Amino acid sequence: MGSNPTPRTNLGTSPPSVLEYGFHLRKNGYKDSSIERRVRLLKTLSKSCNLNETEEVKGLLARLGWAESTKELACDILASYYHYRKIPFDKPRYERIETIPFIPLENELDSLIGGCGPKTATALQLLKESYARIGENLEPQMDGH
């Protein structure tokens, strides 16, 4: 009558140890954004390999097309995770490659500002002319001025 469902593997779900690691981080005062990033990375890796096999994880990292800085961050997260799980882990060596930040030309900024609505254009013009960060110009003033 009906078709047989395909068997499910555990690779698509988060291993309980990843969730436990997330709770461990929360108990130790990590910010939610840090916890989310770490758990998300571990979940992503667990979909393609067995996190309990450190050599398999290192092989996956070597094959991924991620930037060196992302691989370095992943290794730091993995080292913390394996330390929590008391699993020996020889961290592979990835080094961040420093790049020069993109700085737009003034006419490119003017084109961006010109293409925005009046409120956004005003805020962007203020940022351009004051060299301030967005929070400095858009936060309500607390000193009564």
Question: In the chain, what are the domain boundaries?
Answer: 10-85, 106-138
pLDDT over threshold 70, residue 4: no
Q: What is the separation, in whole angstroms, between the first and last Cα of the chain?
A: 75
Span 28-81, pLDDT tens digits: 999 999 999 999 999 999 988 888 888 999 999 899 888 888 899 999 999 999
Question: What pTM was computed for the model?
Answer: 0.60
For residues 97 and 11, give the distance between their C-alpha atoms in angstroms, rounded to a whole number. 32
Burial label, 87 (beta-carbon count in 10 A; 0-12, 13-18, 19+): middle
Span 66-75, pLDDT tens digits: 888 889 999 9
